[in-house]
Amino acid sequence: MFNDIYLKSPAFVQNLALSAYGYKMYRDRFGGGIPSAYTELGDPLLPPNESDFEFQEERLQSLLQHCVKYVPHYQKLLTKCDWRAITCKNISQYLPVLTKKDILKDPESFLSTAPDFQKKLKLNTSGSSGTPMNIYSSYEARRINYCFYQQILASQGADYRSKSTTFAGRVLYKDGSKSLDRYDYYNNTQYLSTYFISSDTIERYISSLNKWQPIFIDAYPSALLQIRQLAKEKDLSIDFKPRFIITSSETLTPTAREKIEEFFCTKIIDHYGCTEMTVSAVSTGGQYFASPLYSLIELEHKYESSYSVITTGLLNFAMPLIRYEIGDTISTENPAMPYVFDSVEGRVDDVIITPEGRRVGRIDPAFKGIEGVELAQIIQYRTDSLEISIVLDKNKRHLFNEKLLVENIRSRTSPHMRVNINYQSHIEKSRNGKFKSVINAIK
Residues of the chain with CATH 3.40.50.12780: 32-151+274-347
Query: pTM for the whole thing?
Result: 0.82
Strands 438-440 and 418-423, by their bridges, are: unpaired
Query: With a cut of 50, which residues of the chain have pLDDT below it?
Result: 127-130
Residue-level pLDDT at 164 = 98
Containing H/E element for 346?
Answer: strand 343-347
User: How far lies 231's CA from each of 40, 263, 394, in Å?
Assistant: 41, 9, 11
Give the neighbor-by-neighbor strand order of the sheet with 324-331: 295-303, 306-313, 324-331, 343-347
CATH topology of domain 352-440: GMP Synthetase; Chain A, domain 3 (3.30.300)
Say how far apart CA 439 and CA 171 lie, in whole Å: 25
Residue 126, helix vs strand vs coil: coil
Residues of the chain with CATH 3.30.300.30: 352-440
Say how far apart CA 30 and CA 385 lie, in whole Å: 50
Pick the CATH number of 32-151+274-347 from 3.40.718.10, 3.90.850.10, 3.20.80.10, 3.40.50.12780: 3.40.50.12780
Residue-level pLDDT at 327 = 84
> Within the chain, how many helices (H) and strands (E) appear?
10, 21
